[in-house]
Amino acid sequence: MLEACRRPHVRDLMLLAIGTGGRISSLGSLKVEQVHLDLGVIDLYGVGIETNKRKPIVPISGPLHSMLDRLIGASKTGYLIEFGGKKSVEGRNYTQVIHRAAKRSSIPNDKLARVNWYSFRHTLADFLDEHVSGAAISSVLGHFEIAGRDRRKLFDAGSPTTELYKRRKLSPVLEVVEALDEHWWPAIQPHTSIKVEKIGSAPDLLKCAEVEEEKICFKSNRFN
């Protein structure tokens, strides 16, 4: 499917869908400020078509860190996925985009009708069911609501202690990152010539949290 994407912005959108399991209306409407490379997550709250669908916080894994860094630097409109100086895809065009890519791919004709953007989300959910906890699955697929106040605590700037709180709070999402980097993307790589395994040196945020916690405890004990 990735090779069947003739335009780079469609391939980027597909990689986001494969790596996050996010709903396509949310991913296609992502803005730069919703991407938190330092924390290794994307906040889907408040984007896309307005529905009662919950907006989860989703992981950045595999090739997504370097891809998102590139897209943020190139953005001219504030949107992440652009084409011709504007938001790349609108409304019903999402369906047309995936159907065209499916027809150009090696998917058998008798299965083409079943290919849609939800296919990526469904396949990722099945994978996660075998590799991470139920809490981690629920956190990234939006099975429970995250209050606006809690989101502000996560994404507002703060002290080192606050940064530790953020990473601990995000630990279910970061658990998913580890599973995707170790198993998901390596399983996909043999089926595409496009580099999808982890690229670059995105921070190991769980380890960062553990190191920061040790520093804080050490400082605290010095004055006891």
Q: Of 67, 111, 100, 56, whose CA–CA distance to 200 is shortest?
A: 67
pLDDT in tens, 102-123: 888 888 877 877 888 999 999 9
What confidence tens digit (pLDDT) does each residue in 43-52 have? 988 544 444 4
pLDDT level of residue 94 (50, 70, 90 thresholds): confident
Q: How far apart are CA 201 and CA 55, in angstroms?
A: 27
Non-local (6+) Cβ contacts of 66 within 8 A are: 199, 200
Q: What is the pLDDT of residue 218?
A: 36
pLDDT digits (tens, 9 = 90+) for 124-141: 999 999 999 998 999 898
**Whole-number average pLDDT of the chain:** 81
**CA geometry: angle at 20 spanning 16 and 24, to 5°?**
60
d(CA 121, CA 27) in angstroms, rounded, equals 12
What's the CATH architecture for 8-222? Orthogonal Bundle (1.10)
Q: Where are the domains of the chain?
A: 8-222
For residue 57, the one-letter residue type is I
- Top pLDDT among 21 and 113 is at 21
